[in-house]
Amino acid sequence: MKSRKRKQVQLYDFSPRQDCFRKEVLSGLRKSPKKLPCKYFYDEQGSRLFERICTLDKYYIPRVETAIMEAYIEEMVELLGQRVLLVEYGSGDCTKTRILLDRLRDLVAYVPIDISREQLLRVTEELVVDYPGLEVLPVCADYTSEFELPVPKQLSTRKVVYFPGSTIGNFDPIPTKNLLEHIAKRYGPNGGLLIGVDLKKDPQVLHHAYNDSQGVTAAFNLNLLERINRELNGDFNLEWFEHYAFYNTREGRVEMHLISLREQTVHLGNVTIPFAKGESIWTESSYKYNLDEFKQIATAAGFKVEHVWTDEQQWFSVQYLVSQE
Ligand code: AVI
């Protein structure tokens, strides 16, 4: 194991309060069909499971996206320009970010934003050691909610948001447009968005990506119930729910659900939630686009698509958008 000197890091904390989690979970479980927000996957355990998903061969996204980044990093750096303030939405373990940090040597500062506090602290500690001289300003927040951007010591010529991994695919169409519009306004004029967008492909490939044989994706999905048990005094029996993921061709999205294997009643504190046998909790959508579809959405949100990089099979794209706001 690599040993690292630990450094103190200051965290800008706008993390959602526990009562938001409770409120959203209860309102989701009272809906018909039942639904839970996928942002709550990422507690410490969930973030670790997601890191494991990212090492699975069938979950092609990190592998293909990293290959695109590595192949075209010079072009990306050229387009982003100099003295950039780099803000990352959903920084996670920052693996792909390092490709940018290695090349963008005159960065003014790097602002990783993530909802998972423990992972954010751990990763920031590593970055300040590995990139001495780089100002790292970590923000713990749900980036779809209100948060303030920390002010770096130096002035930047442009703000660029890095939003990799096709996390944009986890938003439904209207929230997608709203989020992109918000980014275009907040970081414009002339602000950039370097974004990973997963593309439509053979449904079999998608099926295997979200139904791995080792059961890691299933464990990631079920961890949401474990988290509810841990944090909201729930009594979900994990053996009575099953991971179910499929590609919905008409909607162009992979859907993840948790299916109740029997008629049962679950408690969250003193609240009772009934489940019929076969009833589902819809936990995640992962939209896949073709290049024209995404261009339309980006343009409607106030961006110009400046450049699109893809792999040979056109499975994934990294796109550089510039705010016209
Ligand atoms: C984070 N997000 C882009 C992943 C996805 O592919 O939608 C989350 C994930 N869900 C299941 N596997 C991975």
Q: How do residues 130-157 score in pLDDT, each as one tens digit?
A: 999 999 999 999 999 989 999 999 999 9
Average pLDDT over residues 32-46: 95
Residue 236 clears pLDDT 50, i.e. is over it: yes
From 170, 220, 282, the mutation candidate for ligand 1 (largest count of ligand atoms within 8 A of CB) is 170
- Cα distance between residue 196 and residue 303, in whole Å: 15
User: What are the angstrom distances between the C-alpha of 49 and each of 56, 58, 112, 276, 294?
Assistant: 11, 15, 20, 29, 29
Which residue, by CA, sits nearest to atom 3 of ligand 1? 167
Containing 180, the helix (H) or strand (E) segment is helix 173-187
Which residue, by CA, sits nearest to atom 6 of ligand 1? 286
DSSP tag of 152: P
286 alpha carbon – ligand 1 mean position (Å): 7
Residue 126 clears pLDDT 70, i.e. is over it: yes
pLDDT reported for residue 189: 85
Residue 50 clears pLDDT 60, i.e. is over it: yes
pLDDT band at 273 (very low <50, low <70, confident <90, very high): very high
81 alpha carbon – ligand 1 mean position (Å): 30
Question: What digits encode the pLDDT tens for the residues 196-221?
Answer: 999 999 999 999 999 999 999 999 99
For residue 254, the ligand 1 atom closest to its alpha carbon is: 7
The two counts, helices (H) then strands (E), for the chain are 9, 14
73 alpha carbon – ligand 1 mean position (Å): 24
123 alpha carbon – ligand 1 mean position (Å): 20
Pocket of ligand 1 (CB under 6 A): 53, 61, 165-167, 169-170, 210, 217, 284, 286
pLDDT band at 105 (very low <50, low <70, confident <90, very high): confident
Amino acid at 38: C
Residue 3 clears pLDDT 90, i.e. is over it: no
For residue 166, the ligand 1 atom closest to its alpha carbon is: 3
Residue 162 clears pLDDT 90, i.e. is over it: yes
pLDDT reported for residue 116: 86
